[in-house]
Amino acid sequence: MVRLSRCLPIGTQLDNYRVEKILGGGGFGIVYLAHEPATQQRVVIKEYMPHKLARRLANHEVTPLDDERKEIYHQGRKLFINEASALANLKHPNIVDVVNFFQAYGTVYMVMKYESGSNLQDYIKARGGGLSEVFLRTVFPALLDGLKAIHARGLLHLDIKPGNVHLRRGGRPLLLDFGAVHTMNLTRRNQTRQVVTSGFSPTEQYDMSGYVGPWTDIYALGATMRACIEGGAPPPANKRLEKETLRPAREAHKKRYSAPLLEAIDWAMEIDPLLRPQNVDELLQRFAIELPEAPADESKDTVLEKWANHLWRKR
């Protein structure tokens, strides 16, 4: 949990918004629930607040910790506002809707549409994993489609994990928290260090010389799928590189899930970036299944459930 001393106090006015609640935070920033007093419309606000580079003063101003980190802080702030601008123009049903961004208190803020629902991390924890194939095939192709739109804009998310997936009614997912997002580099020169989330970040994010790309987000998404099955994060990628301890999903979970799904997870989680899908379309093809026509009195979900049960009985 983010330290309260790093957060804006409840009731703080931010542009046209007033802070209601602290929702959480990470290495790059803090997330608040807020509302617009004139309309009472709720929003979610992400504040650029890298705690290893900056501190908050008594007047709420965010300032670099020292001169040594000043340049890095300002570079990150510039990237944050540039990428918020790009995301504000990226409208997709499975990507959080950025409606505004602005500068205040020496830092920058991204304002996102508030939508009710639950966090995937909380959902996994409450159920102890074991989420159904229907659930996985409902949520993850939609997330991949959103990720495809991000990559098409020349951006990488670089922090996909269950805590950054929001579930709306009907299992309609939203990809959240673009505080770590960066533009794709054509070369490794001047590549900035990325946030690392144990269990979800691939090996190239642990290494300054590692070349990140769409394959990096694909690993994290595969690890998120595996967490839905097993109830917790997979082993860290850097530890897997030293000694592989992760049993292939197609062997560990073949009694409950279909082979195509498990093979997709294993492919996405290859340690070697060159062995993973190199783009979202390659992985999406693994999710393509042909379903029989649904009778008039049955939903697509019912047909998919029957299809999955049929596969499980055949194994």
Rg (CA), the chain: 20
**Is pLDDT of 127 > 50?**
yes
Q: Which CATH topology does 4-113 take?
A: Phosphorylase Kinase; domain 1 (3.30.200)
179 pLDDT tier (thresholds 50, 70, 90): low
Percent of the chain with pLDDT over 90: 65
77 is written with which tokens?
């702030």
- Report the pLDDT value the prediction gives residue 187, as an integer from 0 to 100: 47
Place of tokens 């990226």: 90
Closest by Cα among 56, 59, 38, 57 to 47: 56
What's the average model confidence in pLDDT over 226-233? 97
CB 21 within 8 A of CB 32: yes
CATH class, domain 118-314, is mainly alpha
Write phi, then psi, for 182 (nearest 5 degrees): -140, 155
pLDDT tens, position by position, 269-307:
999 999 999 999 999 988 775 444 445 554 545 545 554
3-state helix, strand, coil in the chain (%, to 5): 40, 20, 40
- Report the pLDDT value the prediction gives residue 190, as an integer from 0 to 100: 47
- Give every CB contact of residue 234 below 8 A, 6+ residues apart in sequence: 199, 200, 223, 226, 227, 240, 246, 269
Closest by Cα among 177, 178, 216, 181 to 200: 216
CB 27 within 8 A of CB 50: yes
Between these two residues, 179 and 203, which has the higher pLDDT value?
Answer: 203
Domain boundaries, the chain: 4-113, 118-314
pLDDT tens, position by position, 77-98:
888 887 788 778 888 999 989 9
- Give every CB contact of residue 117 below 8 A, 6+ residues apart in sequence: 166, 167, 168, 169, 174
What's the average model confidence in pLDDT over 156-170? 91
Q: Which residues are known catalytic residues?
A: 159
* Summary mean pLDDT of the chain: 86
- Report the pLDDT value the prediction gives residue 208, as an integer from 0 to 100: 78
- Report the pLDDT value the prediction gives residue 107, as an integer from 0 to 100: 94
SS3 65: coil
Write phi, then psi, for 92 (nearest 5 degrees): -150, 140
Between these two residues, 194 and 286, which has the higher pLDDT value?
Answer: 286
Alpha helices, DSSP H, located in 89-188: 120-127, 133-152
299 is written with which tokens?
């939903």
What's the average model confidence in pLDDT over 1-27? 86
- Give every CB contact of residue 298 below 8 A, 6+ residues apart in sequence: none
Entry pTM: 0.81
pLDDT-wise least confident of 47-61, 105-119, 157-171, 298-312? 298-312
**Is pLDDT of 16 > 50?**
yes
What's the average model confidence in pLDDT over 223-242? 97
